[in-house]
Amino acid sequence: MSIHPPSPELPTGPVDGDRVRLRRHAEADVDDLAAACADPLIVRFLPHLPHPYTRDDARWWIQEGAPAQWTAGGAAHAIVDPATDRLLGAVGLGRTGLGPGGVPLGEVGYWVAPWARGRGVATAAANTLAAWAFGHGYQRLELLTDLENLASQRVAVAAGFQREGVRRGVARGRDGSPSDRIVWARLADDPPGPSPRLLPDLPDGQLSDGVVTLRPLRTEDTDVMYALHTLPDVTVRSVRPVSPSRAEIQRRCAHSGARWLAGERADMAIMDIASGEIAGEIGLYYHGQATGQAMIGYSVLPQWRGKGYATRATRLVVRWAFDQVEIARLISGTAPDNLGSQKVLARAGFRREGYQRARLPGPNGTRVDDILYARLRTEPA
């Protein structure tokens, strides 16, 4: 977190929030601080913290690091349980500069100890800190999250921060390599969280028809997705008909949660329920948000073809898109010779709307034709 000295100090007294209290760090926090900061998630996503993190590091933070952040016009709070005063985490505010009229701008950061996660502590602390900072003249608070840190991105949304984009190379990994960050911001007059989302979570995390289950793509799917997307007949029918590298596929899988939360696309693995194996992939690409139109694309691994899985998956996505996402019109496209895919779309209730000449880039600089299919929310199932 960068700090912009010197500036007037914020009041250092405790701040009470919803089931959390923010207070200055105290000597009694040393053991909990050292134990929490040795946690693998904190080591991974807060690469500026020392590693290994010792009791001496904890003492330095309490006696020097945190006080320096206060002196520079920011804040460095411990998050504690209001009933027991036990350390649950930390939330800080760094003054990053002054906006128009000299109003302070800041950056928020937080971590929650492993023993306190998954029950809204980070969300409550970020909300409490934001309200308190706005009450003391801050106008804009930023939050930077790693693209793979989905838990923190969800906290950002829950605490009313809005995604503004990706700042490339703004941070450093533990090995010193440049690393991108998603920029979130909450302004003093923004409504309290949660921020609106274009693509909601799947109900109970999945869609199922009893034969296949669709669930969000994740990093562990990289090997299967690499095998799928390097198949010649999948590559040639991709919007960019080039065989992807493993690193590209790994990034796609690892960032798919971030893109879902951003409302850009919902990528799902098609799972065969009987075997638990991945049979393919289906995605909803929400490029036409202003007009309520989204596109569907899918691919199935050769050993799972011919079983109706693409049709099942498409029907499930169609129902979700029309019932739970505010989508009015779904489109999909197929190559003129891709009769299998045309059957899938017809069975899933799509109608052929047109023949688009040279619609897509083809191999070796060529252009290829594409048949447009569409299904409307108002059409019967």
**C-beta of 88: minimal distance to ligand COA in Å?**
8
**C-beta of 66: minimal distance to ligand COA in Å?**
16
Number of residues interacting with ligand COA: please give it, by CB under 6 A: 22
Which residue, 22 or 150, has its beta carbon nearer to ligand COA?
Answer: 150
Give me the residue label for tokens 């393919």: 280
27-56 residues in contact with ligand COA (CB under 6 A) are: 41-42, 45-46
95-114 residues in contact with ligand COA (CB under 6 A) are: 110-112
What's the rounded Cα separation, in Å, for the pair 155 and 184? Answer: 11
Residue among 202, 198, 196, 246 at smallest CA distance from 221: 246
Cis peptide before 361 (omega within 30 of 0): no
Angle subtended at Cα 176 by Cα 172 and Cα 181, rounded to the nearest 5 degrees: 15
Backbone angles phi, psi at 310, to 5 degrees: -65, -40
At 157, list the tokens: 């949304």
What's the rounded Cα separation, in Å, for the pair 113 and 47? Answer: 16
At 377, list the tokens: 């929310």
Which residue, 109 or 297, has its beta carbon nearer to ligand COA?
Answer: 109
**C-beta of 110: minimal distance to ligand COA in Å?**
5
- 225: DSSP letter: H
Specify whether the CB–CB gap between 25 and 91 falls below 8 A: no
Which residue, 51 or 347, has its beta carbon nearer to ligand COA?
Answer: 51
What's the rounded Cα separation, in Å, for the pair 129 and 155? Answer: 13
Q: Specify the stretch interacting with ligand COA by CB under 6 A; choose among 116-124, 225-233, 301-309, 311-319.
A: 116-124
At 98, list the tokens: 């002054």
Options 4, 51, 59, 117; binder of ligand COA; rule CB under 6 A: 117
**C-beta of 264: minimal distance to ligand COA in Å?**
17
- At 104, is the secondary structure helix, strand, or coil? strand
At 262, list the tokens: 């951003």
What's the rounded Cα separation, in Å, for the pair 204 and 207? Answer: 8
**C-beta of 181: minimal distance to ligand COA in Å?**
8
**C-beta of 108: minimal distance to ligand COA in Å?**
9
Specify whether the CB–CB gap between 158 and 125 falls below 8 A: no
- 148: DSSP letter: T
119-178 residues in contact with ligand COA (CB under 6 A) are: 119-123, 145, 149-152, 154-155, 158
**C-beta of 164: minimal distance to ligand COA in Å?**
15
Quickly list DSSP for 309-321.
Answer: HHHHHHHHHHHHH
Angle subtended at Cα 12 by Cα 9 and Cα 14, rounded to the nearest 5 degrees: 150
Which residue, 69 or 145, has its beta carbon nearer to ligand COA?
Answer: 145
Which residue, 158 or 372, has its beta carbon nearer to ligand COA?
Answer: 158
Options 100, 101, 118, 205; binder of ligand COA; rule CB under 6 A: 118
Which residue, 125 or 282, has its beta carbon nearer to ligand COA?
Answer: 125
Can residue 254 be called a binding residue for ligand COA (CB under 6 A)? Answer: no
**C-beta of 171: minimal distance to ligand COA in Å?**
10
Which residue, 256 or 341, has its beta carbon nearer to ligand COA?
Answer: 256
Which residue, 124 or 368, has its beta carbon nearer to ligand COA?
Answer: 124
How far are the Cα atoms of 166, 178, 185 from residue 153, in angstroms, in the given order?
13, 20, 12
**C-beta of 256: minimal distance to ligand COA in Å?**
11
Which residue, 179 or 293, has its beta carbon nearer to ligand COA?
Answer: 179
Q: Which residues make up the interface to ligand COA (CB under 6 A)?
A: 41-42, 45-46, 110-112, 117-123, 145, 149-152, 154-155, 158
